[in-house]
């Protein structure tokens, strides 16, 4: 697939309103206008959220995804009370309640869509911080002081940047302005438009995105300075030339979504373009073995790291591992092998193609793995030389902050970007034509459903809203830098073990 020159022009990180591409966005509430409406347009004049608008001289279909809900509608100066014909009714949108799952509830999906559209938090009572899993990050809460500590802190000046090279070994000194970069999603598992939307958005923010194990399409070349190329067990598309293009190379030894199983790309997604990049045969299913069969010790691991360092004398090396019970020993081994970044990938990562049996039963949940590794590296006296990155089910700015408070320096995300592109979590990612929204597909007809500029801006907006939320969290905790939050577990409480959680503005999903 060829690429246009405009694709290489990374936009700025400025927020630009970017509405849904499907005509009418889904919201928590439904606004029904009955046939009794006499078109007086009083609702248009009094609605503060522009739910009601006109098409010509007539009342148009309400933009009910902007509705603040029943509580607002009951006010004496709002639509329901002021309609002279009693023609307006506000209720829950039953269609939206059919979306998602316990991890990505309908409200989390809708809140992410709103952030991707506007760069702002939703004004209604949509829950944007936790899901409904009854475990993991959903059970953790911040212990915010009732009054923020009296410190001379300007919210806008709070530092959210992190360093990716703490070894200071003469290789690239890289700092990213937000504590997040994009995880590996391969060309083949997602469309090239989706891949480029993520890369262009993270580049606009001065961060990085990983290619995944699907090779290095030439459309990515203009973004070399913001790309992490992945060397995975299948070695698809791995070339010395592409390793030399980038500033960071990632070894993927395992991923939390399917440890012990390896990767699997069904033949229906292996188009001619995908096969060319992966140097394989169109229509053939592709398997990545679980282990590198050349690595059975730290010494073998070091040979891998040394190989990359010899080919690219300035590149940083990241090591992506899943979270077995001895993940702390894996992390210290990676440090002694020479890695700059230790990337822990817990369960619940991956697209809908990852099997539930693996996501739910094999890898250690990331909220357990982070403090285990952080504390071990501290005790070994090397924590200040390792950039510890966490992934595996990170969904929100609050998840990011919780991961950092547990001991990570930053996080890697993937699914939230797909949700920003209006993924509805139908779990058909593995099928060639399974993604009806043109996100996780290589079918050219479906890929054409999404415009690159639109997709890029949606992710830029989401990242902007995340950065704003992180600053607000740090401000409430009296911290001036995200680095001060690392390993600060005393600011967290677990709902199962604390009856007095001072997170007074936290709402419960679905309530």
Inter-residue contact 11 to 226 (CB < 8 Å): no
Spatial neighbors of 200 by CB under 8 A, at least 6 apart, are 7, 10, 11, 223, 452, 456
d(CA 331, CA 371): 12
- The pLDDT tens digits of the residues spanning 100-115 come to 889 999 999 999 999 9
Tell me, rounded to whole angstroms, the distance of Cα 179 from its chain centroid.
Answer: 12
- The pLDDT tens digits of the residues spanning 437-474 come to 999 988 889 999 999 999 999 999 999 999 999 999 99
Q: What is the pLDDT of residue 349?
A: 62
The residues facing 190 across adjacent strands are 187
Paired sense of beta strands 492-494 and 140-142, if any: antiparallel
Inter-residue contact 333 to 380 (CB < 8 Å): no
**Which 8-state DSSP code applies to residue 60?**
P
- The pLDDT tens digits of the residues spanning 298-350 come to 898 999 999 999 999 999 999 999 888 899 999 999 999 999 999 999 877 65
Q: What is the mean pLDDT of residues 158-186?
A: 96
Instruction: Name the H helices within 154-268.
Output: 192-204, 240-243
State the burial class of residue 14 (Cβ atoms within 10 Å of its Cβ: 0-12, 13-18, 19+). exposed
- Per-residue HEC secondary structure of 315-383 comes to CEEEEEECCCCCHHHHHHHHHHHCCCEEEEECCCCCCCCCCHHHHHHCCCCHHHHHHHHHHHHHHCCCH
Q: What is the pLDDT of residue 507?
A: 39
Domains and CATH numbers, the chain: 29-92 (3.30.70.20), 162-420+438-448 (3.20.20.70)
d(CA 406, CA 437): 35
d(CA 408, CA 104): 23
Q: What is the mean pLDDT of residues 259-272?
A: 69
b/e sequence 178-195, b meaning 16+ C-beta within 10 Å: bbbbbbbbbbbbbbbbbb
List the Cα angle 3/5/6 in 5-degree steps. 105
d(CA 137, CA 348): 12
% the chain with pLDDT above 90: 63
Q: Is the pLDDT of residue 3 over 80?
A: no
């Amino acid at each position: 697939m060829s690429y246009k020159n405009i694709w290489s022009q990374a936009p700025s990180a400025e927020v630009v309103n970017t509405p849904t591409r499907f005509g009418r966005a889904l919201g928590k509430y439904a606004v029904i206008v009955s046939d009794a409406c006499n078109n007086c347009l009083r609702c248009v004049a009094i609605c503060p959220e522009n739910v009601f608008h006109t098409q010509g001289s007539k009342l148009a279909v309400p933009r009910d995804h902007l509705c603040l809900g029943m509580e607002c509608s009951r006010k004496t100066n709002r639509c329901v009370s002021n309609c002279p014909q009693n023609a307006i009714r506000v209720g829950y949108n039953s269609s939206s309640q059919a979306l998602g799952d316990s991890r990505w509830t309908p409200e989390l999906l809708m809140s992410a869509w709103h952030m991707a559209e506007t760069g702002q938090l939703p004004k209604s009572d949509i829950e944007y911080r936790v899901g409904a899993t009854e475990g993991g990050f959903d059970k953790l809460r911040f212990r915010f002081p009732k009054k923020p500590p009296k410190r001379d802190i300007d919210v806008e000046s709070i530092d959210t940047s992190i360093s990716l090279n703490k070894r200071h070994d003469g290789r690239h000194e890289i700092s990213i302005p937000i504590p997040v970069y994009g995880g590996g999603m391969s060309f083949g598992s997602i469309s090239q438009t989706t891949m480029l939307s993520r890369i262009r958005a993270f580049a606009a923010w001065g961060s990085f995105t990983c290619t995944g194990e699907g090779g290095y399409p030439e459309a990515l070349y203009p973004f070399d300075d913001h790309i992490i190329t992945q060397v995975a067990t299948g070695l698809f598309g791995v070339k010395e030339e592409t390793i030399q293009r980038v500033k960071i190379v990632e070894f993927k030894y395992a991923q939390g979504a399917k440890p012990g199983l390896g990767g699997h790309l069904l033949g229906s997604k292996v188009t001619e373009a995908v096969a060319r990049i992966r140097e394989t045969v169109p229509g053939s299913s592709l398997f990545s073995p679980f282990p590198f069969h050349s690595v059975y010790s730290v010494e073998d691991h070091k040979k891998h790291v040394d190989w990359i360092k010899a080919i690219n004398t300035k590149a940083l090396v990241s090591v992506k591992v899943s979270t077995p019970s001895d993940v702390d020993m894996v992390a210290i081994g990676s440090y002694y092998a020479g890695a700059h970044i230790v990337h822990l990938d817990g369960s619940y990562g991956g697209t809908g193609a990852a099997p539930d049996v693996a996501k739910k039963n094999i890898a250690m949940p990331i909220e357990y793995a982070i403090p285990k590794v952080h504390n071990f590296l501290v005790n070994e006296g090397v924590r200040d030389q390792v950039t510890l990155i966490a992934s595996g089910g990170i969904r929100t700015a609050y998840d990011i902050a919780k991961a950092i408070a547990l001991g990570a320096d930053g996080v890697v995300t993937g699914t939230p970007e797909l949700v920003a592109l209006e993924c509805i979590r139908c779990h058909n990612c593995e099928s060639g034509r399974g993604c009806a929204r043109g996100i996780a597909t290589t079918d050219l007809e479906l890929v054409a459903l999404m415009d690159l500029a639109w997709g890029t801006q949606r992710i830029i907006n989401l990242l902007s809203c995340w950065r704003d939320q992180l600053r607000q969290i740090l401000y409430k905790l009296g911290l001036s830098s995200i680095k001060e939050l690392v390993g600060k577990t005393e600011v967290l409480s677990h709902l199962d073990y604390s009856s007095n959680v001072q997170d007074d503005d936290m709402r419960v999903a679905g309530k």
